[in-house]
Amino acid sequence: MIRVGVFSDSHGDRDALEKLLNKMGHIDAACFLGDISSDAMFLRDQLEKMPHQPVLYAVRGNNDLASMLPDQLLIELGKHKIWMEHGHLFPSLMTLAYRAKDNGADIALFGHTHEPHCEYAYGVLLLNPGSAGNQCRGGAARASLMILDGEKVRIEDIL
């Protein structure tokens, strides 16, 4: 079983990001979906404090102008190929699903809208964890815990 913390759009809210990480407990990997702003080093430091140091995967968001992070990333965790991108470069969820499928992925992670979203489209699980920053649109900070168990995928909201 692989436990993956999925985060997006913290926009400098390190307190909220740290609380979400602590609520997740043990994670094997963290996927950050852009608008990480100045939080990249903070997140890396928090992950390094964990007993087994989860792997960090990240992509650039529309507010990460000086970032050297890629716009998209394809990773493999267990039996799953996971497509990651922020979300500001595709016009629709159908486009995201097709892009993920064209790259062999069965899961697509995205952010940008600050709104949580989870659905299957064209055989691809589309997941947006919402915003990891409290200040974003006045809502509560949130993330997702994605649990990969063989071919099964379970998603838990972390508030």
The pLDDT tens digits of the residues spanning 66-124 come to 678 999 999 999 999 999 999 998 889 999 999 999 999 999 999 999 899 999 999 99
- Give me the pLDDT at residue 96, please: 96
- Give me the pLDDT at residue 138, please: 60
Q: Is 151 helix (H, G, I), strand (E, B) or coil?
A: coil
Q: Is 56 exposed, middle or buried (0-12, 13-18, 19+ CB in 10 A)?
A: middle
Element (H, E) at 40: helix 40-49
- CATH topology assigned to domain 2-158: Purple Acid Phosphatase; chain A, domain 2 (3.60.21)
H and E: helices and strands count for the chain: 3, 10
Average pLDDT over the chain reads 92
The pLDDT tens digits of the residues spanning 21-31 come to 999 999 999 99
Give the pTM: 0.94
